[in-house]
Structure 1
Amino acid sequence: MSARMHLSPAQDAQDAQDAQDTQAAHPQDPGAEHFAHAAEVLGLLADRTRLALLHTLGKGEADVMTLTAVCGAARPAVSQHLAKLRLAGLVSVRREGRRMIYGPPDGHLRRVVDEILNLADHHLSGAETHN
């Protein structure tokens, strides 16, 4: 029995359509290309500075100076990491006068970053993991 109650059959039909749309948009059995792309993205996330940049950008847009201060890395290094993230399509960038403003990652990537940081928190704090 479902925990959610609907007042109309139309809502049940909409829920079924939403589930079907989600399944069509994201295959249950990913192919070789999916695994290759996912591994490439995870490789980019396997750097402390890039992970910190994505975490910070997950909160909203920022310029290089702001990101440099938050990450604690040298400005040239931050710029190089941002260029890699931009070329991979993981962040956006726009010009505002002389400043480059970097935009947040999409929702999927933001959730991946949040989850890996939650995993790290559980590991470091000894907190119970979630099932």
Structure 2
Amino acid sequence: MDAASAAKVATTLQALATPSRLLILARLREGPLPATELAAEVGMEQSACSHQLRLLRNLGLVVGTRKGRSIVYSLYDNHVAELIDQAIYHVEHLRLGLTDAAAHGEPEPEAAGLPSA
């Protein structure tokens, strides 16, 4: 990976580092929603949700399609859902003290000096 690619990936991952954005993306994994409904479902003010959606759209993580007077948002593509799924999977593994290492003959987290659940 070159420096320019690393910077782009870092920017994307930074966008995922905010709980409100993760809530938006996680909800959009279930399917498209108009901005007003999305804000209500994730417990955000309309203006705050719109601000986060604009940022996510500019980063290519969501797309908005005009339907009448509303804009319906959805994930840009399945890669975004996979990013969220993998992050959830990783956090759950950490919480439970699980690792894929055992399947590959590698030491468990405690043996490698990492915290367990």
TM-score by length of 2: 0.77
Aligned length: 101
* Structure 2 residue 98 is the aligned partner of structure 1 residue 128: yes
TM-score by length of 1: 0.70
Larger radius of gyration: 1
Shift of 1:127: 4.7
Partner of 1:112: 83
Q: Which stretch shifts more, 30-39 or 102-111?
A: 102-111
Please, which of 18, 27, 30 is the counterpart of residue 47 of structure 1?
Answer: 18
RMSD, matched Cα? 1.5
Shift of 1:110: 1.4
SS at match of 2:98: coil
- Deviations along 1:24-55, whole A, 9 cap, x unmatched? xxxxxx21111110000001000001111111
- Separation in 2 of the partners of 1:93 and 1:58? 14
- Deviations along 1:81-124, whole A, 9 cap, x unmatched? 00101112211111111111012232222111111112222333
Residue identity opposite 1:56 in structure 2:
R
Kept in 2: contact 1:58–1:105 (CA 8 A): no
Structure 1: gaps of 5 or more residues: 1-29
- Separation in 2 of the partners of 1:40 and 1:59? 24
Partner of 2:45: 74
SS at match of 2:99: coil
Partner of 1:93: 64
Percent same amino acid among aligned pairs?
Answer: 31
